[in-house]
Amino acid sequence: MIPGPTTLPGAVVQALSRPATDIYHGPLHDVSLDCLQGLSELFGTRERPYIFTANGHGGWEAALCNTLSRGDRVLALETGLFAPHWAETAETLGLSIEVLPGSWRRAVNCEALAERLRADTTGSIRAILTTQVDTATGVLNDIPAIRGAIDGASHDGLLMVDCIASLGATAFQFDAWKVDVAVAASQKALMTPPGLAFHAVSKKARKAHQIAGLRTSYWDWSLRDRADHYFWHSGTPPVSLLFGFQAAIQLIREEGLATVVARHDALASAARAAVEHWTMPGGVDLNVLTPGEQAGTVTVVRVPDGAARPLVDFCKQTFGVLLGEGIGALEGKAIRIGHMGHVGAPQLIGALGCLELGMRAIGIAHTSGGVEAALAALEGFAMEKPHTASGEASVIEISKQKRGVV
């Protein structure tokens, strides 16, 4: 139950153990094509996506190297740990970095962003870096609103979005939202082991690519555009990971992306309902309190000082449930419940139950009955019968069929 790497579905594990195949001729080419097609569906883009043999940090570096030149300025929008970390990557590449300070409990302040961009009369800021979901804080950013702020300030910088902890779980529309580079990775909501990073790339980003000074052969989009499949991967393809990722895409297609998103939103609302129920003075509290700014993939729970480690240890040692500890400024102050990818009601309800027992055992003030509140949230969700891929079954039924939920 940590916010990545996440639990692998059986179908993915099985695909990972397929024997290796000819990397030059034959079906592997079609596996890559299917993965790229799946990425287009997940990102919501008609442009060609890219697959890198790398983790998320590699995807970050690749986004910068493909579009920028030494000395260019990037503006990172702070809503937690990850956009500022991305900016640190930029600094090592010789880019000039600036962080727009923000709260660790709120989404990007779009007015402050617009104001900063309007002040950039020379257009020195070449890229704006943000996260859709910050995994350290559980903040969900409104990407169309950020785009609106950039356009409202008539600013020309590239909008780069880290959707590593949200793609495949939270609605994302690369083309419609006019994102320039989106970065994702395999090991969060995409249910595949760490080792693949993904890009979606706009026409505007591709134009910037033509004059970018930081281009290197391994990350280079253009070199990966060559016809020979071997070059799509800048060398030997990550064969097993491609098999695994293809199987994960297939699971998402079968469940239906809209249903997958609805499942994540329902689980997130159940997690929040439990925490809100537990909340009392001197006890636990949601890190993000503002509706619409709460992630569907991870819930960050503030805990009394000194309680994070004992709580996480209790759940791990007593019940084998692995929760995340707070990171960055929330280290020692929060725990993180990951609920993304191959996860349903049994895992989440179970984890919340273990947490409640942990609070009892350790003596953290709380109102008991958080699990009941989570059940009530899921019940409400089951009654809504949201849209499904087949249009026949409710989300709960679909989840039951596909994931052994309930």
Closest approach of Cβ 160 to ligand PLP, in Å? Answer: 12
| In the complex, residue closest to ligand PLP by CB | 56
Nearer to ligand PLP, 76 or 247 (CB): 76
Quick check: helix, strand or coil at residue 81?
A: coil
Closest approach of Cβ 168 to ligand PLP, in Å? Answer: 13
Nearer to ligand PLP, 52 or 82 (CB): 82
The rounded distance, in Å, linking the Cα atoms of 119 and 155 is: 10
Nearer to ligand PLP, 108 or 345 (CB): 108
Closest approach of Cβ 27 to ligand PLP, in Å? Answer: 28
Closest approach of Cβ 188 to ligand PLP, in Å? Answer: 6
Tell how far CA 249 is from the center of its chain. 16
Nearer to ligand PLP, 277 or 339 (CB): 339
Closest approach of Cβ 67 to ligand PLP, in Å? Answer: 18
Closest approach of Cβ 125 to ligand PLP, in Å? Answer: 21
Q: Are 157 and 128 in contact (CB under 8 A)?
A: yes
Residues near 384 by beta carbon (within 8 Å), at least 6 away in sequence = none
Residues in contact with ligand PLP by the rule CB under 6 A: 4, 55-57, 82, 131, 134-135, 162, 164-165, 185, 188, 194
Nearer to ligand PLP, 9 or 56 (CB): 56
Nearer to ligand PLP, 85 or 206 (CB): 85
* C-beta neighbour count of 289 within 10 angstroms: 13
The rounded distance, in Å, linking the Cα atoms of 164 and 59 is: 9
The rounded distance, in Å, linking the Cα atoms of 127 and 381 is: 39
Handedness of CA 253, 259, 265, 267 (dihedral sign): negative
Instruction: Spell out the alpha helix ranges (H) of 8-81.
Output: 10-16, 28-43, 56-67
